[in-house]
Structure 1
Amino acid sequence: MSELNARQPTFQEIGERIKSPLWNELCGYIEAAYGVQPSVEYSKCSGAPGWNVKYKKGGKALCTLYPGEGCFTALVAVGQKLAPAAEALLGSFDASVQKTYWNAGMLCGTRWLMIEVTSPAVVRDVKQLLALRVPVKSGRKTQSPQQ
């Protein structure tokens, strides 16, 4: 997919590259639950340079999704104020998410969680972390649209 690196891919092209129902589930959930649309942006970040998908609500970042070949990673930030609530949920999280949380060092009082989305359980955990950052308003549709 080197041509995607040379030019901005569309959201659809990114989804086709990933080829995962987990991508459709998480993106559909975020869009329905928060009423937001994805933004395809280029990052020069040394940790994960390249095209990514950002979701923002009211100027606040919800998460950034980093596509790979057949997989993707979700970046969710957990600040000091949210840490106690996140840590209270950790016991119910997938072991890989727990490990990611505890291995993520604090930077400016925030844990930057690079979560490899590999299963429905990890998608569930990412949704719960997002709800800590920005609660879903009651009455908002939270089911993923049928693909």
Structure 2
Amino acid sequence: MPHLQEVSGFVANPLWDELCSHLESCYGVLPKIEHSSCSGAPGWNIKYKKSGQSLCTLYPANGFFTCLVSVRSREAMEAELLLSPCTEYIRNLYWNTKPFNGGRWLMVSVTSAEILEDVKKLIDLRVKKKKRQHEDS
């Protein structure tokens, strides 16, 4: 199993470090390195979870990375309102991703600061939705 510093060095992209720092500081979560044999993205990945809920999974590659963020059906309306100011890439990805198991699993290639900001908004939507549901209980 690689160490986080090795993964960061392999990715060698400041957007990776920015997202990891953001997740750890804003949500108080720690990364968990796992190996997946999933046919969609086999190999080492980094999972971030809060209170047992997945925030996102990062798939490192040489010089770049992909971030999996799922938007559940109960978050869909808010996510769709959030899309308007997002990048065209994120809007197209969302609308072209077929719903699966009650949500959309967005495999986002994080290639710019703008896309990174969109990913942060989608992750924040998941956290806020969960928090609101807990407060309403």
TM-score where L is the length of structure 2 = 0.92
Deviation at 1:91, TM superposition (A): 1.1
Aligned counterpart for 1:99 among listed residues 83, 92, 101: 92
Q: The residue matched to 2:108 in structure 1 has which SS?
A: strand
Aligned counterpart for 2:39 among listed residues 32, 46, 60: 46
Deviation at 1:122, TM superposition (A): 0.7
Aligned counterpart for 1:78 among listed residues 50, 64, 71: 71
Q: Is structure 2 residue 96 aligned with structure 1 residue 108?
A: no
Aligned counterpart for 1:59 among listed residues 36, 52, 55: 52
What CA distance in whole angstroms lies between the structure 2 residues aligned with 1:134 and 1:125?
A: 15
What CA distance in whole angstroms lies between the structure 2 residues aligned with 1:58 and 1:79?
A: 17
Identical columns (%) = 50
By relative contact order (CA 8 Å, sep 6+), the higher-ranking structure is: 1
Instruction: Provide structure 1 residue ranges, at least 5 long, that are not aligned to the other structure.
Output: 1-7, 138-147
What CA distance in whole angstroms lies between the structure 2 residues aligned with 1:104 and 1:9?
A: 31
Instruction: Count residues with an aligned counterpart.
Output: 130
Q: Is structure 2 residue 30 aligned with structure 1 residue 37?
A: yes
TM-score where L is the length of structure 1 = 0.86
1:36 is matched by which residue type in structure 2? Answer: V
Deviation at 1:108, TM superposition (A): 1.2
Deviation at 1:23, TM superposition (A): 0.5
Q: Name the structure with the higher helix share.
A: 2
The C-alpha deviation readout for 1:13-72, integer Å capped at 9, x for no partner, is 110001111001110000000001100100111100100000000111000000011000
Deviating above 3 A after TM superposition, structure 1's stretches of 4 or more consecutive aligned residues are none
What CA distance in whole angstroms lies between the structure 2 residues aligned with 1:52 and 1:81?
A: 26
Aligned counterpart for 2:119 among listed residues 122, 126, 144: 126
RMSD: 1.3
What CA distance in whole angstroms lies between the structure 2 residues aligned with 1:95 and 1:101?
A: 10
What CA distance in whole angstroms lies between the structure 2 residues aligned with 1:103 and 1:122?
A: 17
Deviation at 1:103, TM superposition (A): 1.4
1:14 is matched by which residue type in structure 2? Answer: V
Deviation at 1:135, TM superposition (A): 2.5
